[in-house]
A and B are shown apart, each in its own frame.
Chain A
Amino acid sequence: METVGSELKQVQRSGIPYPQWLNVELTYQCPLHCVYCYNPIDYAKYDQELTTAEWVRVLGEARKMGVVQLGLSGGEPLLRDDLEEIVAEAHKLGFYTNLLTSGIGMNETRIKRLKDNGLDHIQVSFQDSTKEMNDFLSSTKTFDLKKKIARMVKEYDYPMVLNVVLHRMNLDHIDKILGLAEEMDADYVELANTQYYGWSFLNRDQLLPTHAQLEKAEAYVNEFRKRIGDKMKIFFVVPDYHATRPKACMNGWGNIFINIAPDGMVLPCHEARMLPGINFPNVRDLALDQIWYDSDAFNIYRGDSWMKEPCRSCPDKTKDFGGCRCQAYMLTQDATNTDPICDLSPKHHLVTEAVAQAELLKPNVEIKPLVFRLNKNSKALTENRAPEEVIP
């Protein structure tokens, strides 16, 4: 690798920052069927997963480029029986390793082995605070098992990070969710209001909360924070549909973050696969540094020369980068448009109309069937057929 050629390339590459975060989606398979999953609707067709050796090679390439934070996610990463091996290699390379899991597939042998192999952190996701809602939203019977896994995380001295995705159907249980976190002695709690991509976009109308729900939940979180103090760090991810300025998505396209899908496709975020006309490279064909620095896919939305008005002349463009390219595409069918979350966007009404519709409904009233994330639904939707199974 240390050749004159690669040094020359470094010079050409000046101006592009090195990546800091790598998220590897080890598999799209998952025992849960969450209605708000952000994986692609057509995930079932990407089943040519990278091998252990391929992942290990890519991790080495990423580490050389300067990446230090590694997310191991999916799907459910525990479904890969080489997870322990991948963790061991990542640890040897000097990554800080974060496992993002539902906990399903974890047991005492594996959690110990992962610890021995150098895993730094386990984030366990819960769907809600009660057995009934957790099991309903994920279309499984997993609540008690998850509680058991959360206890094991503590026992084996991992930082305990609890993740709960919030939406219309569980926001009103925020007191019980935080109660559950306290009971489990969580060190960090991520309360992530749903972002509407993939399956959650499909189910958006049923998941969008009302303003009143959000305000009440946020007020409760602030009160809880005051009471609990330094003991627990709580992150409340603000829902962008209820905002007037877009999020600085991924801190900018190709700026700090790389996502690698199970089939080896390299993406600047979890969702970009949906964007038409971009040829996203694969680690099976190209080295990761070539993809990051030189590929059209990673350069297309770097900087601001691609921007249209109102972004182009907006002083905030260096702060929010025009928002999310995928959201712009999903809502306006043009990824170079301003993210319609922004109230300066001429298409902002697309967002306010969706939120207004949510206001008209009583909380927790279903307006159309929920579509669960199932292999057969993925296949049906990919082939433009109606999903076969709704609210199982």
Chain B
Amino acid sequence: MSEKKPLELTDTMEISKHFRLQWEEVPKAYVLLYPEGRVQLNGSAGEIVKRVDGKTTIAAIAEELQKTFNEPDLRKDVLAGLEIAYGNGWIRVKTSAA
């Protein structure tokens, strides 16, 4: 984990191979599913991770969230949230992205 390079706003992320993100009606939350495991995301983490699509840069995700929730600057929060997901191996940097 520690040898991973810190994420940058220009990076584009995707859900890691063999992980699946899905909305669950009973807990009303996004969950990440993997072999014999399940991580339930809290409200803000869910809002961030559901925008991880292998196409949108981190900066663009932050911008979209700023608009949606009418917040001035969420770049730091989005980066911090994605760092946690990245550190846990739930998401990865899309290498082929332009």
Q: Binary interface profile of B, 22-33, with partner A (CB < 8 Å = 1, else 0)?
A: 101111000101
Which chain A residues lie closer than 8 Å to B89 at the CB level?
230
**Contact pick for A66, options B1, B24, B33, B37, CB 8 Å:** B24
Most chain-A Cβ atoms within 10 A of its Cβ — which of B18, B24, B36? B36
Q: A159 an interface residue at 8 Å Cβ cutoff?
A: yes
Q: How far is the CA of A123 from the CA of B27 in the complex (A)?
A: 28
- Find the A residue at minimum CB distance from B1: A230
Chain A residues near B24 (CB, 8 Å)? Answer: 66, 68
* Residue A94 at the chain B interface, CB threshold 8 Å: yes
Q: By the criterion CB–CB under 8 Å, are B38 and A66 in contact?
A: no
A69 CB, min distance to chain B CBs, angstroms:
6
8 Å CB interface, A145-203 against B = 158-159, 161, 187-188
Most interface-central of B1, B25, B33, B35 (chain A CB within 10 A)? B35
Number of A-B contacts (CB under 8 A): 46
Chain B residues with CB under 8 Å of A98's CB are: 35-36
Given contacts A120-B20, A187-B18, contact A68 B36 (CB under 8 A): no
Q: List, in ascending order, chain B residues with CB within 8 A of A187's CB.
A: 18, 35
**What residues of chain A lie closer than 8 Å to B36, measured between beta carbons?**
69, 71, 98, 121, 123, 161
State how many angstroms separate the Cβ of B45 from the closest Cβ of chain A: 17
Query: A47-72 vs B: 1/0 string, CB under 8 Å?
Result: 00000000000000000011011010
Q: Judge whether A159 and B34 touch: CB under 8 Å.
A: yes
User: Are A120 and B35 in contact (CB-based, < 8 A)?
Assistant: yes
CA distance A143 to B25 in the complex (A): 43
Select from chain A the residue with minimum beta-carbon distance to B89: A230
Residue of B nearest to A95 (CB): B33
Residues on the B chain within 8 Å of A94, using CB: 22
Number of contacting residues on A, CB 8 A? 19
* Residue on B nearest A67 in the bound complex, by CB: B26
A22 → chain B, closest Cβ, in Å?
A: 12
A66 near B27: Cβ-Cβ < 8 Å: yes
Further pairs besides A120-B33, A121-B34, A161-B36: 11, Cβ < 8 Å: A18-B26, A65-B26, A68-B33, A69-B36, A96-B20, A96-B34, A98-B35, A158-B18, A187-B18, A187-B35, A230-B89
Task: Sample 22 A-B pairs with CB under 8 A, ordered by A number.
Answer: A20-B38, A66-B25, A66-B26, A66-B27, A68-B22, A68-B38, A69-B33, A69-B36, A69-B38, A94-B22, A96-B20, A96-B33, A98-B36, A120-B18, A120-B20, A121-B34, A121-B35, A121-B36, A123-B36, A158-B18, A159-B18, A230-B89
Identify the 10 closest CB pairs spanning chains A and B, nearest first. A66-B26, A96-B33, A159-B18, A121-B35, A159-B35, A161-B35, A18-B26, A69-B38, A98-B36, A188-B35
